[in-house]
């Protein structure tokens, strides 16, 4: 089975990245996402995502 997409909300991105790296997951895209469209999509205010 292949995992194509995972969306998480974390306070410490570096720590979360190290955690998932430990289990063999790798970051493939580090695009910055922000604005009303992403805030509406995840249901949170002032979203700044990567």
Whether pTM > 0.75 for this model: the answer is no
What stretches of the chain adopt beta strand conformation (E)? 33-34, 48-49
**How confident is the model over 1-50, as pLDDT tens digits?**
777 777 778 889 899 999 999 999 888 888 888 999 989 988 989 888 87
Domain residue extents for the chain: 13-49
Calculate the CA dihedral of residues 34, 38, 44, 47 and round it to 10 degrees: -10
What is the C-alpha separation between 46 and 28, in angstroms, rounded?
Answer: 24
Q: What is the pLDDT of residue 9?
A: 80
Q: What is the pLDDT of residue 11?
A: 87
């Amino acid at each position: 089975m292949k995992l194509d997409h995972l969306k998480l909300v974390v306070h410490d991105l570096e720590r979360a990245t190290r955690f998932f790296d430990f289990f063999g997951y790798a970051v493939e895209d580090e695009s910055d996402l922000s604005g009303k469209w992403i805030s509406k999509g995840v249901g949170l205010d002032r979203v700044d995502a990567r």
